[in-house]
Amino acid sequence: MLYICIPSRNEAQTVGLLLWKIRQVFTATPREYHLLVGDDASTDATPDVLAPYSKVLPLTVLRQDRHAGYARTLERLLRHAVTLSDRPRRDAAVVLHADFLHDPATIPELLKKFDSGADLVVAESQGEGAPTRGHRLLRRYAPLLLRRRGRVPGVRDTVSGFLAMRLSVAKDALPGNGPVLMSDGWAANAELIARAAAVSRKVDGVETRERYDLLQRPLDYDPWAAAKALWRAAGR
């Protein structure tokens, strides 16, 4: 079983179409899958958009009434996938964003590496197509800002939010019930990858291109503020 984990906040314009695109992927390459959307207290029409999809797709929506942030939403999704699985050594979680930045067409490439024995497979990008030079530079050099935390053998893009992970690895990487990821945003991705890689037998990556051209709203972060956050996170 594959659990497709999608953190989401105010993505009413894209989340429904993303779910349908994922369905198309698994129609072309059949796999048993379950969609998990983490709705982080969206204030737009996201709940209304998701409601009809729950009737026609294998979908569970985990809604939070209070804004918890990306890291908490991601942890909740992965832990929920672990609780649903009765074969965590065989099942996997695939994490991707709800804004179309991550192309669902890459999922089969992630799964090829997973089926070949990798416990963690990261979809790697260097920020090609990012809207500004600041975004492109930050995307490329973010692992350097993370210093030691940004170095994971076998992974070039340690801040990617698009990956596949064996559920037994997710369980070991996120022990207990309390918060484990102490950062947010890209730094949280780096924390998760580092923790998962530490308990994985094999780590691999696939090339992907982030689809900035498909985003329906401007990126909501300042590259330089994000750079400072990554540097601070590395010192924790």
pLDDT digits (tens, 9 = 90+) for 178-217: 899 988 888 899 899 999 999 999 999 999 987 766 666 6
Give me the pLDDT at residue 225, please.
74
Q: Are 137 and 70 in contact (CB under 8 A)?
A: no
CA dist 36 and 20 (Å) reads 13
CA dist 158 and 193 (Å) reads 7
Q: Which domain holds residue 155?
A: 2-234
CA-based nearest residue to 99, from 213, 191, 203, 176: 213
| pLDDT over 80 at 155, yes or no | yes
Average pLDDT over residues 158-175: 96
- How many structural domains are present in the chain? 1
> Can you tell me whether residue 21 is helix, strand or coil?
helix
Q: Is 194 left (phi over 0), alpha (psi -120 to 50) or beta?
A: alpha
CA dist 215 and 129 (Å) reads 12
Looking at residue 128, which CATH number applies to its domain? 3.90.550.10
Give me the pLDDT at residue 150, please.
59
CA dist 135 and 232 (Å) reads 18
Q: Is 154 left (phi over 0), alpha (psi -120 to 50) or beta?
A: left
CA-based nearest residue to 39, from 63, 10, 5: 63
pLDDT digits (tens, 9 = 90+) for 83-121: 999 999 999 999 999 998 899 999 999 999 999 999 999
**Both tokens assigned to 142:** 């973010």
